[in-house]
Chain A
Amino acid sequence: MYGEVLAVVAAILWAASMVSAAGTLRNVNPLCANTLKILFGALSMVPIALIICLGQVKYSTSIFVAFSLSLQLR
């Protein structure tokens, strides 16, 4: 059940991400909003990438395949 809840939470977060980006469209054009969204998303992933690189968290290849695909499932 916990796994199912997490999948739905991920869906809510993706929706919230798009809705919050759409909230800026009165002052910012879509291209700019998306570019900055990607910048901030990439920056927030830096600490995670560092942790992984330092070997503190062990991820298997299949997990990264899933992560990569998850970023497309929006």
Chain B
Amino acid sequence: MIGIGMGDTYLLKSTTYIGMSRSYTIAYSYPIFTMFLANLFLGEPFHYRYLMGSILIFLGVANALTGGSSEAGSKRRVGFIYSLAASLSWASGTVLVTQGVKTVDIFLANTIRYPIVFLTLLPLMVFRGGEIDLNRRDLGLLVVSGILGMTLGGIIFLHSVRLIGASKAAPLSSSSPFWASILSSIFLKEKLTLRILASTVLVIAGIYFLF
């Protein structure tokens, strides 16, 4: 619920303020928070290379936030807070999942996870969501989004893990913000700046140090 329910909602909310490429890059700083939370609550060891990774991620996020952009200062601040909330939610979700799978059957947990998150979000959507003007195009996009991200993405990542192991597959899959920047410039007509690309590269490089 915290990871995919709250985290993804915050990310989408942030997108409405600062755009997908910037908010996705900032939200992808979540391995830093995961590392600190895992160290704090799960007692996982802290390595010096993590510090290097954290510095690179911090520089990437700071770079994404500064510089000339069309958004007003307050709008940018709100967008940053939402993307940071997404990052914290994903980190908390990852730590909770790590803890949860120790006592619960993985298959069972994974099968029931999404329907539970949906049923939890549904009343919130009905009572707080306001009016919904959902046309066929939007419905199609959401179907595509669900299938691509949650089903196909997961299965393909799974095959990758089987072939090269999680230690190699996870850092490679963290290139997602770079692709999000490219895709949002093509499909959402967001301006792809060198600054955003540089931030994305810094965040991805930082994540490599954290694995």
Contacts and interface: CB of A to CB of B under 8 A. Distances in A.
A17 to B, nearest CB: 3
Contacts of A61: 106
Contacts of A63: 158, 161-162
A32 B124 CA distance: 9
B39 interface: no
Main secondary structure of the interface of B (DSSP, over half): helix
Interface string A5-22: 011111111111111111
Most buried by B among A4, A15, A43, A63: A15
A66 B161 contact: yes
B151 A22 contact: no
A2 B149 contact: no
B188 to A, nearest CB: 6
Interface residues on B, range: 35 or more
Given A66-B161, A72-B97, A15 B183 contact: yes
B161 A41 contact: no
B176 A15 contact: yes
B46 interface: no
A15 B150 contact: no
A19 B20 contact: yes
Interface of B: 3-5, 8-13, 15-16, 20, 24, 90, 93-94, 97, 101, 106-107, 109-111, 113-115, 117-118, 121-122, 124-125, 128-130, 132-135, 137-139, 141-164, 166, 168-170, 172-180, 182-184, 187-188
